Structure 1
Amino acid sequence: MRERDNETSDDVDNGVLERTDNLETTGIGIVDGATAQIDLALPPLSDGDEDYIDDEDAAVSADEHEPALDEAAPSDDDPVVDADAVVEGERPETAPDSEAPDAQTPVGHEAAGSDDVVDAEIVTPVTTTAVSTQTGSTRRAMHLAAAGDKHALERVRGARVEEQPLQSRRLDQFGADRESPDLLTADRLIDRSRVAASEPGGLWQRFVYGATGRRVILADSARVRARKELSRRISAPLTGGAKFVPVLSRKGGVGKTSVTTLLGMALADAREDRVIAVDANPDRGTLAERIERSSGKTVRDLVRSRSEVTGFNDLSAIVARDETRLDILASDADPHLSEAFSDRDYHDVAAIAAHYYSIVLTDSGTGIVHSVMDATLELADQLLIVAGRSVDEAKLASETLSWLESNGYAELARTAVVVLNTSRPGASLVRPSELEAHFRTRVRAVVTIPYDAHIATGGPISFRGLSASTRLAARELAAVVVEGLRPAGVAR
């Protein structure tokens, strides 16, 4: 093939066409006076020409003729030449005297039908004086290049169809025989027959359990089941941040501080989270005196060093903790200093307490119009109102509810808990059933605390040293408070 090309190279001028009778040039049009748009149709190869295609020329690599897909598309100012056969990389050349700008490379190739003519679109400027094309061996090379381009495009198109985009898959999109991690539950994996049962609660049940080598477990008595159910109610989880529960009383001597201590001990003894009781009495409070341990620090120390509290260890050096894990923040012993404890100070203390505790009890003073009381009511999630079992004490408690209702705290009054505390021994002339009936029409719940000589001493209170009835009443009060702090509709 190369010899045939050399023989014909002397007779052919590749710059100007000598014959035009084998070309269709009817599509010539003048554009902008300097360029032309030409439709060329080259005849198919003759039988004689096919003899000069040897194996080396037929092995043209398709990669060398792959279209330049990333090159820029022609602009509107560039003329277009439609040719039937063009080899990529070989552009029609202009006459030597033309001043045409650089041409764009072909933007696409597409194989023709059975006549082996390849249709292609190229973009190139040409002059009106001469059009250069290739004949003879050049057309054969163009034919082979077009065939290679055809196979290259088919490979590219096929690869694009077969490629799948990378994407994440949900676990439920895998096969049905594959399990998700959610199926690895304790109920499925743990062999309950090998798990040791909890020790029974009753005295007789524990004796039988130990005497039989932990093989015989008697059912709990009704009393034990009631105690476990009460513990479950007290230890129910709370959501939504720290909960503030102020304890109010319009009259001194009714046991407000004692009720605060009992409630805090019952909560701390049954719950896993932290509980604190803050003495916010404007006068000299006695909350810290109801537990045996003392830190020697007060709310005033916490207010002064609030910026230095960076962890619970810093706070634990200020508060006092009793055997039930109840933390107490005492008030100032000097009444002149305690009067300076303002609503701003209470907000500072409450902010620190809310960061480390789940339940914050506040032992408020007997007045309800001082500034600390305003701050206490603003943060309150639930109220406890302590009333004595006498006529005047009951009236003051009911009037407190009326004041709350008329001063913007009607919802707190409606969901409050009234505690009827028995602070004197012996039978009272006031009928307790009538007191309970009155307050149940105004509040959510009423709880009665019986008289306990251990509390009446005025000294430190030991939760284990209380009578069984007093401890049970304190736990019942704690359960009622926790139920009031949980959102409505949540299972108790």
Structure 2
Amino acid sequence: MTQTNTPKPGPRPDRSPSISQDSAADVAGEAGTGPGGMPPVDAPDLSSSDAAGAGPTGDISVVTVSDAQDRTSAGSLSAVNGVVQPGTATAAMPVVTAGPGTVSPGAAGVAAANTEAVGAEPANADAAEPAIPAAPGAEAPAEEVKDLPGRREKPEGPEPAAALTADRLLTRTAAAPVAGWRRWLYQATFGYVNLGDSDQVRIQRAMEHRIATRLGERTRYVPVLSRKGGVGKTTVTTLLGMVLAELREDRVIAMDANPDRGTLSDRSPGRADFTARQLVKDRFTVNSFAQLSNYTARDGSRLDVLASDTDPMVAHAFDDADYRAVTDILGRYYSIVLTDSGTGMVHSVMKGTLEKADAVVLVSGGSVDEARLASETLSWLEAHGRQDLVAKATVVINMAAGNRTLVNIDEIEQHFLSRVKNVVRIPHDRHLAEGSRIRLSQLKPATRAAAVELAALVVDELQQS
């Protein structure tokens, strides 16, 4: 192999601290070995110009790896690769090609020397390369930006007309309070101070929203039961029907199925020319809702009422078959059918009433005997295999006699809560005590709130049926 002689370079300026030859020898003697595990080498005289470079005579200048690392950053290997053994021409250095695990011929020795210089293990072609920390101040490699979930890009081109929605274009303002001192403060400040409605009003609106929930395509049947007369069964039926008809968008009807003389039409507004008994006779000719409207009453309320005959002898002929025929017609045009059942549980209409029932409302008074009879009604239903109706029953405690009673109403309420899930107490109201037509606008706020709560609980049970 022919060696090419190059001009002898001039002396390299010494940037490292001056060290004497004796000190270098002492350090080498204490370490035992040179850099990279090589045997110790006598330190040359650093002040000599011959020791600074390699001449033709083959003198060797030693530059330790530690000196090279001090002159470069800790994360860079360029200084180590740039250390050239003395006596070797720069032009004869092998070229290392880029690429994982690829080294040009003749470069294996240089790669091994570089590996020993940094104190690392030889690279394994099968193993992944370890990550080399970047030097301080160096720019980190740019990471690939991934699309975050839910990120939307603005569509290119013109927007469709459907993009112009009210939520996008209109500025929403808080509604004014409906009543109370909050309403007065809102008006006194010309709308600048708006505290919103009270919690009681918000709860009332939530109940109204529950009442307006859709129930599906099938008709729901809700009988109102009582084993004792005079507890307000017809009053509760009318209140429940009026609230449902006022807050719901579908049709609601209350049917008087009392075998005796019923009073549902007396408590409801409006009068009808025909009754339930006459509808049974004409059931094969009624083919539209317009024809059915001739048999129902509606005046001042959205609740339709199907009354019974005023003659007790004629009304007594209304039996189980007639009830089923009427309810089949009502089921075509109404979503909820309320049934004002007769007193007792053993009359002929009660069998069909309970078979079609999706939920029941049991009315009890505030006296001892009325509460006991209402509880016995639940026992009668359980004894006849209708535990499902007991589980979905709603007990209404009608305080028609007022609050001036020695009966502990709280104990009655706790008794029914041990047997059913829902109990509603309707307070005494002078408008209800009149025994005439009921108008929701004339009820006390507490009475109306109790009627709304009753309707919300009934709709909740109908949703699960």
Name the TM-score, length of structure 2 as normaliser: 0.62
Q: How does 1:251-290 map to 2 (within 5 A)?
A: 251-290=228-267
Separation (CA, whole Å) in 2 of partners of 1:291 and 1:189: 41
Separation (CA, whole Å) in 1 of partners of 2:192 and 2:298: 40
Would you say the 8 A contact 1:420–1:448 is kept in 2?
yes
User: Could you say which residue in structure 2 is the equivalent of 1:326?
Assistant: 303
Decide whether aligned partners of structure 1 residues 389 and 183 sit closer, same or farther in structure 2, where only a CA change above 3 A counts.
farther
Counterpart pick for 1:442 among 416, 419, 429? 419
SS at match of 1:224: helix
Q: How does 1:74-473 map to 2 (within 5 A)?
A: 190-191=167-168, 193-194=170-171, 198-206=175-183, 217-473=194-450
Question: Displacement of 1:239 after TM fit?
Answer: 2.1
SS at match of 1:423: coil
Would you say the 8 A contact 1:292–1:460 is kept in 2?
yes
Would you say the 8 A contact 2:175–2:196 is kept in 1?
no
Question: Displacement of 1:431 after TM fit?
Answer: 0.6
The residue type paired with residue 447 of structure 1 is V
Would you say the 8 A contact 1:202–1:221 is kept in 2?
no
Would you say the 8 A contact 1:202–1:224 is kept in 2?
no
* Further displaced range: 233-242 or 323-332: 233-242
Separation (CA, whole Å) in 2 of partners of 1:352 and 1:183: 45
Separation (CA, whole Å) in 2 of partners of 1:185 and 1:394: 60
Separation (CA, whole Å) in 2 of partners of 1:283 and 1:315: 23
The residue type paired with residue 406 of structure 2 is L
Question: Displacement of 1:183 after TM fit?
Answer: 12
Would you say the 8 A contact 1:246–1:380 is kept in 2?
yes
The residue type paired with residue 363 of structure 2 is V
Question: Displacement of 1:384 after TM fit?
Answer: 0.7
SS at match of 1:317: helix
The residue type paired with residue 312 of structure 1 is F
Decide whether aligned partners of structure 1 residues 413 and 207 sit closer, same or farther in structure 2, where only a CA change above 3 A counts.
same
Question: Displacement of 1:322 after TM fit?
Answer: 3.8
Question: Displacement of 1:383 after TM fit?
Answer: 0.6
* Further displaced range: 424-433 or 248-257: 424-433
The residue type paired with residue 371 of structure 1 is S
Question: Displacement of 1:197 after TM fit?
Answer: 5.3
Deviations 1:413-436 (A, max 9, x none): 121111111121342221111111
Question: Structure 2 stretches of 5 or more lacking a match?
Answer: 1-154
* Further displaced range: 225-234 or 210-219: 210-219
Name the TM-score, length of structure 1 as normaliser: 0.59
User: Could you say which residue in structure 2 is the equivalent of 1:29?
Assistant: none
4+ aligned runs moved over 4 Å, structure 1 = 181-186, 195-199, 203-217
Decide whether aligned partners of structure 1 residues 216 and 315 sit closer, same or farther in structure 2, where only a CA change above 3 A counts.
farther
Separation (CA, whole Å) in 2 of partners of 1:259 and 1:217: 38
Separation (CA, whole Å) in 2 of partners of 1:249 and 1:261: 15
Number of corresponding residues: 311
CA RMSD of aligned residues (A): 2.6
The residue type paired with residue 394 of structure 1 is A
* Further displaced range: 259-268 or 423-432: 423-432
Deviations 1:48-70 (A, max 9, x none): xxxxxxxxxxxxxxxxxxxxxxx
Question: Structure 1 stretches of 5 or more lacking a match?
Answer: 1-176
The residue type paired with residue 413 of structure 1 is V
Question: Displacement of 1:200 after TM fit?
Answer: 3.7
Question: Displacement of 1:381 after TM fit?
Answer: 0.3
SS at match of 1:321: coil
Deviations 1:376-431 (A, max 9, x none): 00000001111111111111111111111011211111211111111213422211
Decide whether aligned partners of structure 1 residues 178 and 289 sit closer, same or farther in structure 2, where only a CA change above 3 A counts.
farther
* Identity over aligned pairs, percent: 51
SS at match of 2:295: coil
Separation (CA, whole Å) in 1 of partners of 2:351 and 2:447: 32
SS at match of 2:342: coil
SS at match of 1:368: coil
Separation (CA, whole Å) in 2 of partners of 1:361 and 1:487: 17
SS at match of 2:450: helix
Deviations 1:432-481 (A, max 9, x none): 11111111111121111111111111111111111111111111111111
The residue type paired with residue 438 of structure 1 is H
SS at match of 1:258: helix
Decide whether aligned partners of structure 1 residues 192 and 447 sit closer, same or farther in structure 2, where only a CA change above 3 A counts.
farther
Decide whether aligned partners of structure 1 residues 240 and 406 sit closer, same or farther in structure 2, where only a CA change above 3 A counts.
farther
SS at match of 1:328: strand
Decide whether aligned partners of structure 1 residues 197 and 385 sit closer, same or farther in structure 2, where only a CA change above 3 A counts.
same
The residue type paired with residue 251 of structure 1 is K
Question: Displacement of 1:366 after TM fit?
Answer: 0.7
Question: Displacement of 1:203 after TM fit?
Answer: 4.8
Would you say the 8 A contact 2:359–2:393 is kept in 1?
yes
